């Protein structure tokens, strides 16, 4: 990945940090030796440079569903799901290097054959995928960018939500959670503005919701007594 990042820096750039604490020598070696085998970065970049945006992840696979998790962080939710559902293919999109290394370790530890990683900025993955080829997309507590002047960096704006929606197969869904009421309201506005989405549910999650407390960031917010909001978009 470091070689691709060096060669195509624009695809790896994003607002935020790719490295929050120093990457250990062992994580660097792990990424250098194993990332390529478990990643789709090469495929995505090859399409992007040809401006041929139709990566179809269903080709050559027998998986029942294709599920993307955007910004998987330390990867807990991704790894647990992949272990529990070996018949589904999980695409993990994340720019945070230590998170990628952690998931790689678990892929090797549990011999998981149903996770593919994408280390480039999700916006480019979004651009490269063929419409109507994805079953589910999860964005669990995206970076909230709480300062007003940074709001425009938020991933879930109306354009990106529309593009994500076009990737969904019939009966597909997008799940979003956030502990930022302001972001929640902004997403609601973006969705309502479009009159394009088939069915949308907005809710403040209760602690009995199966998606409540499923990730590190969510649990941190819950420990500070914050509400967790969810948005579920369904394609008929
Ligand atoms: C607030 S954290 C949440 C992490 C995890 N989902 C959780 O709930 O614990 C947001 C994550 O999204 C990742 N991220 C932000 N923008 C991204 C992008 N454009 N493409 C891929 N990952 C992104 C960040 O690196 C970070 O790990």
Active site residue 76: no
Q: Where are the domains of the chain?
A: 1-51+62-67+74-130, 132-236
Average pLDDT over residues 4-21: 79
- In the prediction, which pLDDT does 18 show? 62
- Percentage of the residues of the chain whose pLDDT score is greater than 90: 78
Report, as an integer, the average pLDDT of 10-15.
84
Centroid of ligand 1 to alpha carbon of 89 (angstroms): 20
Selected residue with higher pLDDT from 16 and 82: 82
Q: Is 122 in the pocket of ligand 1 (CB under 6 A)?
A: yes
* Half-sphere exposure at residue 143, Cβ-oriented, CA atoms within 13 angstroms: 19
Query: How confident is the model over 122-177, as pLDDT tens digits?
Result: 999 999 999 999 999 999 999 999 998 998 899 999 999 999 999 999 999 999 99
* pLDDT of amino acid 6: 86
Q: Are strands 115-118 and 199-204 parallel, antiparallel or unpaired?
A: unpaired
- Is 138 touching ligand 1 by the criterion CB < 6 Å? no
pLDDT value of position 231: 98
Sign of CA dihedral 113, 125, 10, 47: positive
Active-site choice (43, 143, 182, 227): 143
Residue-wise pLDDT for 74-108, tens only, equals 999 999 999 999 999 999 999 999 999 999 999 99
Give the CA angle between residues 152, 66, 205 to the nearest 5°.
55
Q: How far is CA 172 from the centre of its chain?
A: 15
Indicate the CATH number for domain 132-236.
Answer: 3.40.50.150
Burial of 208 (0-12, 13-18, 19+ CB in 10 A): exposed
Q: pTM higher than 0.75 for the full model?
A: yes
């Amino acid at each position: 990945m470091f070689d691709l990042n060096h060669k195509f820096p624009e695809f790896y750039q994003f607002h935020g940090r790719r490295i929050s604490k120093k990457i250990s020598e062992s994580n660097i070696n792990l990424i250098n030796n194993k990332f390529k085998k478990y990643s789709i970065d090469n495929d995505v970049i090859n399409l992007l440079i040809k401006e041929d945006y139709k990566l179809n992840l269903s080709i050559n696979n027998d998986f029942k569903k294709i599920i993307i998790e955007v910004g998987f962080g330390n990867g807990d939710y991704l790894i647990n799901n992949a272990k529990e559902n070996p018949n589904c293919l999980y695409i993990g999109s994340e720019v945070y290097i230590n998170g990628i290394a952690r998931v790689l370790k678990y892929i090797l530890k549990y011999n998981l054959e149903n996770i593919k990683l994408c280390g480039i900025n999700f916006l480019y993955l979004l651009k490269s995928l063929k419409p109507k080829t994805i079953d589910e997309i999860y964005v669990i507590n995206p970076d909230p960018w709480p300062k007003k002047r940074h709001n425009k960096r938020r991933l879930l704006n109306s354009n990106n939500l529309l593009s994500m929606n076009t990737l969904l197969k019939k009966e597909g869904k997008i799940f979003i959670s956030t502990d930022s009421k302001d972001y929640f309201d902004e997403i609601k506005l973006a969705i309502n503005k479009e009159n394009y989405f088939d069915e949308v549910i907005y809710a403040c999650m209760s602690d009995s919701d199966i998606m409540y407390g499923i990730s590190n960031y969510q649990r941190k917010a819950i420990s500070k007594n914050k509400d967790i909001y969810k948005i579920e978009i369904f394609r008929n």
